[in-house]
């Protein structure tokens, strides 16, 4: 291939990188080798060769197509269809309030988180998340990180050496009988191990849930350090996956980013539609199959209650167990009479409170021992 064209491809790689694709030197070499074999005779073949070598996932295909059009076909770049940015349509007041909170000076008195004594801790354990002050919230973050991050477990198909196992470990047995001339003096066993069960969390981050989802996400952030297999989604009017943000960054930042993306403050919560989005995309990829699904929401559905019921049923069929955490459940007088909660409840295996630290601890305990479904 001509050097000029090689240079074209390399520059195209740079265009793709700017569009967000991961195009390393290896992939570029593949592309150039591939084109060498295919030839440059047909535009279609050049397209497919570059696509198969430079694209690694389905989500990148659209960006690739636009870059290809712009670079090789010299069509003017059409800006992508604009998704309305919720930040622009939302009343500015919300933002100002939150920013003000972020930058407010810490009170001068000696209320450092460390100085909270035992009784203060007890008070904090029972205090509603929404009623907490700035300082108490900061202390809360540390206390939450201390909750034992136990996960529900399932039997894995992997075998590991174990003295009381039930499957003979033939490999080690054969090796050990070498010394004894074919007599198995010591029998070695293996048995199936336990693996953490997939945990899928759908967290309502709409306005009324703000304080509670924050505490929940702090807890999940701690839980994710216990190993893989935790997937977290935030929803308000839309659904978005925040697993990556939660795993790598500051959980508070993840929460803010999620709220910016999924909450349309004027429209209220659409639980049913968000669950449908989950079932359609992630449920279809079998993410919820055999998983423990945790829904954190107060159940105030602004959309269609029938849709919520239908989607809950779908979710429930795929999941190992569905746990609904509602801050309202913490009140003694609360009865799930709101239409949304009523529609969802038949498909909930455990309905628990999530309004204070004590209830989070109870939830952690519930999760570690969740063995059987349908015991709400």
Partner 1 sequence: MSEERQFESIEDVELALRAQSYLPERGLATALFVSLAIGKPLLLEGEAGVGKTEAAKALANALGARLIRLQCYEGLDVAHAVYEWNYARQLLHIRAAQEGSVSEQELFGPEFLIRRPLLEAIGSSDPVVLLIDEIDRADEEFEAFLLEVLSDFQITIPEIGTIRAERRPLVILTSNRTRELHDALKRRCLFHWISHPALEREIEIVRMRVPGVSERLATQAAAFVAGLRELDLVKAPGVAETIDWTDALTALGCGDLDPETVQQTLGAVLKYREDLDTVQGETVSELIRHARAVGSAAPP
What does the binding site for partner 1 look like in residue numbers (CB under 8 A)?
A: 22, 24, 26-27, 30, 33-34, 37-38, 44-45, 48-49, 51-53, 55-58, 61, 156-159, 170-171, 173-174, 177-178, 181-182, 184, 228, 279-280, 284-287, 310, 314
- Shortest distance, CB of residue 43 to partner 1, whole angstroms? 11
CB nearer to partner 1: give 95 or 171: 171
User: Are the C-beta atoms of residues 191 and 165 closer than 8 Å to each other?
Assistant: yes
- Shortest distance, CB of residue 63 to partner 1, whole angstroms? 13
User: Are the C-beta atoms of residues 143 and 122 closer than 8 Å to each other?
Assistant: no
CB nearer to partner 1: give 33 or 75: 33
Radius of gyration of the chain (CA): 27
Phi (first) and psi of residue 331, to 5 degrees:
-80, 140
User: Are the C-beta atoms of residues 210 and 218 closer than 8 Å to each other?
Assistant: no
CB nearer to partner 1: give 38 or 70: 38
- Shortest distance, CB of residue 61 to partner 1, whole angstroms? 6
The torsion of the CA quartet 269, 270, 272, 273, rounded to 10 degrees, works out to -150
Please, which residues have CB within 8 angstroms of residue 375's CB and are 6 or more apart in sequence? 349, 350
CB nearer to partner 1: give 290 or 369: 290
DSSP for 90-141 reads S-HHHHHHHHHHHHSPPPSSS--GGG--HHHHHHHHHS-GGG--HHHHHHHH
CB nearer to partner 1: give 120 or 168: 168
Q: What is the DSSP letter of 348?
A: -
Measure the CA–CA gap between 207 and 89, rounded to whole angstroms.
Answer: 15
DSSP for 295-339 reads EE------S-HHHHHHHHHHHHHHSSEEEEEEGGGGSTT----SH
CB nearer to partner 1: give 55 or 223: 55
- Shortest distance, CB of residue 280 to partner 1, whole angstroms? 8
CB nearer to partner 1: give 52 or 101: 52
Measure the CA–CA gap between 7 and 135, rounded to whole angstroms.
Answer: 58
Closest by CA to 215, choosing from 140, 149, 146, 293, is 140
- Shortest distance, CB of residue 285 to partner 1, whole angstroms? 5
- Shortest distance, CB of residue 365 to partner 1, whole angstroms? 27
Closest by CA to 200, choosing from 308, 317, 321, is 321
**Count of residues in the chain:** 376
- Shortest distance, CB of residue 345 to partner 1, whole angstroms? 20
- Shortest distance, CB of residue 200 to partner 1, whole angstroms? 12
Closest by CA to 365, choosing from 234, 211, 219, is 219
Token digits for 43? 């535009």
CB nearer to partner 1: give 159 or 358: 159
- Shortest distance, CB of residue 353 to partner 1, whole angstroms? 32
CB nearer to partner 1: give 159 or 362: 159
């Amino acid at each position: 291939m001509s050097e000029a064209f090689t240079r074209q491809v390399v520059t195209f790689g740079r265009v793709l990188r700017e569009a967000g694709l991961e195009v390393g030197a290896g992939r570029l070499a593949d592309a150039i080798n591939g084109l060498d074999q295919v030839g440059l005779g047909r535009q279609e073949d050049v397209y497919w060769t570059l696509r198969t070598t430079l694209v690694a996932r389905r989500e990148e295909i659209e960006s690739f197509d636009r870059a290809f059009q712009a670079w090789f076909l010299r069509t003017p770049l059409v800006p992508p269809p604009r998704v309305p940015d919720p930040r622009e349509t939302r009343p500015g007041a919300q933002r100002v309030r939150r920013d003000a909170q972020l930058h407010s000076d810490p009170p001068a008195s000696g209320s450092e988180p460390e100085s909270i004594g035992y009784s203060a801790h007890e008070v904090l354990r029972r205090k509603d998340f929404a009623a907490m002050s700035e300082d108490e919230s900061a202390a809360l973050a540390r206390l939450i990180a201390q909750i034992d991050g136990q996960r529900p477990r399932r039997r894995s198909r992997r075998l590991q050496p174990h003295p009381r196992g039930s499957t003979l470990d033939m490999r080690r047995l054969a090796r050990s009988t070498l010394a004894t001339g074919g007599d198995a003096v010591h029998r070695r066993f293996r048995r199936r191990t336990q693996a953490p069960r997939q945990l899928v969390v759908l967290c309502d981050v709409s306005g009324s849930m703000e304080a509670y989802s924050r505490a929940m996400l702090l807890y999940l952030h701690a839980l994710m350090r216990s190993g893989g297999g935790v997937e977290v989604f935030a929803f308000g009017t839309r659904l978005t996956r925040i697993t990556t943000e939660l795993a790598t960054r500051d959980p508070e930042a993840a929460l803010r980013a999620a709220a910016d993306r999924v909450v349309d403050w004027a429209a209220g919560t659409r639980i049913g539609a968000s669950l449908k989005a989950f079932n359609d995309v992630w449920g279809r990829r079998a993410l919820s199959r055999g998983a423990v699904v945790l829904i954190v929401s107060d159940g105030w559905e602004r959309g269609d209650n029938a849709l919520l019921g239908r989607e809950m049923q779908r979710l429930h069929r795929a999941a190992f167990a569905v746990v609904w955490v509602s801050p309202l459940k913490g009140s003694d007088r609360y009865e799930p009479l709101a239409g949304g909660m009523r529609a969802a409840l038949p498909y909930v295996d455990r309905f628990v409170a999530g309004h204070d630290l004590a209830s989070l601890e109870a939830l952690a305990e519930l999760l570690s021992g969740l063995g059987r479904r349908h015991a709400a």
